[in-house]
Amino acid sequence: MKLLIFVTGRGIGGDALIAYNVKKYLKQNGIDSEIVLDPKSPGYYFKKRNIPWLTSPIPNAGGHAASKIKLLKAAIKSLMASIRGSLLIRKEKADGVVGVVGGGAIIGALSAKLARVPAVTMVSTPTDTSISMKLNPTLMLPESPEYSNPKDSSSKYEVKKIYSPINLDIMGGNKENIIDKLPSAFDVSKDSILFASGSTLFDDMAKAARKFAEETDDYNIFVIGDPLKEELNDIIDYPNIINLGYINYIADLYDLIDLAVITDDGLTLHETMACQIPVVVVLGVKYGRYHNLASVFEGAVLESNVDNITDVVLKALDNKQSMKEAAGKYSDDLLNAPNEMCDFIKKHMKK
């Protein structure tokens, strides 16, 4: 069996990582697959791992907060892209499609319909959730509004709620691998806090780290990710901020830190929960999105914003043990998510 995995975006962030994990776990289950990216995508994540990819237009098909005008424009682009996608499916003689989030889910689903092959889509936005549930079996990630607040809408296809498929290697980190490599500002006697918004450092996460650093010097404050814009480097240029930039040792860092300050979406939150790390989420960091994931991981996650970041982080540290225990309640299900995903895909790819 050969499947095409349609992926939106630049091939560098969370969607690319999810797609990589999907490909990896399908391979472990004896299923071959090829990544499909938009022709304009640089595909850095896959390039670094020497993974080739196919190209076909995958426009942003309406995101978490898309307006009606944007949705209309996206619909027109999506129709043309779906025709191109269906031609690629036939050319590659693929047996089916896995669509990964947003445009990847929508274009993947529509392309599969036109090519008359089965599809399974992973969804996380209002738009991809609504469309996918009408077209094919759907894996619903916690970021989808339907995950926590299901509407009366129904689907004739199977819909399964599932955690994002993390790389299980994330559990094997060892802080001893990196302690000697960290900058001299690192103090082994202090608790360590990570500020991160994925592979890219967004404005409000940088501001949150700076505000916390200005108000306390009692902790190791790590910041990771490539800044979204150059001026963010000035914000995080502060004596007690340890800026690590883009790193390839996140598993070891997870083993070191006592608390993670992150966004309320994506694989980073799933990874920290699996590693039983207490979490503070800074709301609205990525284009104002809100996913209410504190309710999905109840007891293990506190919500904050830039203005009250210090108060919330200190509260989390005071309750570190109980939050760690709460995260432990979700760990087994998070670790089993890749198997559940593969079983679901195999079930619905059978002809």
Instruction: Work out how many domains the chain is built from and give that number.
Output: 2
Residue 244: helix, strand or coil by DSSP? strand
The owner of tokens 């993974």 is 51
Asked, for residue 67, whether it belongs to a domain, the answer is: yes
Asked, for residue 338, whether it belongs to a domain, the answer is: no
Separation CA 261–CA 23 (nearest Å): 29
What is the pLDDT at residue 288?
61
- Which domain CATH number covers 247? 3.40.50.2000
Same domain, 79 and 145: yes
Same domain, 95 and 123: yes
The owner of tokens 């043309």 is 80
Same domain, 99 and 186: no
Task: Residue 317: name the closest of 278, 345, 288, 270 by CA.
Answer: 278
Q: In the chain, what percentage of residues exceed pLDDT 90?
A: 71
Same domain, 190 and 156: no
Separation CA 194–CA 338 (nearest Å): 26
Which residues lie closer than 8 Å to 329 by C-beta, 6 or more apart?
299, 300
Contact between 14 and 267 under an 8 Å Cβ cutoff? The reply is yes
Asked, for residue 133, whether it belongs to a domain, the answer is: yes
Contact between 175 and 249 under an 8 Å Cβ cutoff? The reply is no
Q: Which helix (H) or strand (E) holds 340?
A: helix 320-349
Q: pLDDT-based confidence at 292, cuts 50/70/90?
A: confident
What is the pLDDT at residue 64?
46
Ranges 55-64, 90-99, 303-312, 316-325: which has the least confidence: 55-64
Separation CA 311–CA 177 (nearest Å): 32
What single DSSP character describes residue 40?
A: T
What is the pLDDT at residue 151?
67
Contact between 292 and 283 under an 8 Å Cβ cutoff? The reply is no
**231-243 burial string, b = 16+ CB within 10 Å, else e?**
ebeebbebebbbb
Taking the whole predicted model, whether its pTM rises above 0.85 is answered as yes
Task: Residue 163: name the closest of 257, 60, 272 by CA.
Answer: 272
What is the pLDDT at residue 300?
94
Asked, for residue 282, whether it belongs to a domain, the answer is: yes
Q: pLDDT-based confidence at 350, cuts 50/70/90?
A: confident
Separation CA 287–CA 253 (nearest Å): 27
Can you read off the two tokens belonging to residue 258? 């006592």
Tens digit of pLDDT for each residue in 180-204? 999 999 999 999 999 998 778 889 9
Same domain, 179 and 257: yes
Contact between 200 and 225 under an 8 Å Cβ cutoff? The reply is yes
Same domain, 292 and 175: yes
Same domain, 157 and 40: yes
What is the pLDDT at residue 212?
97
What is the pLDDT at residue 26?
96
Asked, for residue 339, whether it belongs to a domain, the answer is: no
User: Is 37 a residue whose pLDDT tops 70?
Assistant: yes
Asked, for residue 59, whether it belongs to a domain, the answer is: yes
Same domain, 34 and 153: yes
Residue 197: helix, strand or coil by DSSP? strand
Same domain, 155 and 218: no
Q: pLDDT-based confidence at 61, cuts 50/70/90?
A: low
**Backbone angle region of 6, left / alpha / beta, with phi > 0 → left and psi within -120 to 50 → alpha:** beta
Same domain, 147 and 229: no
Domain interval for residue 75: 2-161
Asked, for residue 349, whether it belongs to a domain, the answer is: no
Tens digit of pLDDT for each residue in 156-177? 999 999 999 999 999 999 999 9
Asked, for residue 347, whether it belongs to a domain, the answer is: no
Q: Span 225-253, mean pLDDT?
A: 91
Q: Span 18-28, mean pLDDT?
A: 95
Q: How far apart are the first and last CA of the chain?
A: 11
Mean pLDDT estimate for the chain = 90
Same domain, 234 and 264: yes
Strands (E), the chain: 2-7, 32-37, 53-55, 96-100, 119-123, 138-140, 159-161, 192-195, 200-201, 220-224, 226-227, 241-245, 259-262, 279-282, 301-304
- Among 141, 161, 181, the domain-final residue is 161
Same domain, 140 and 225: no
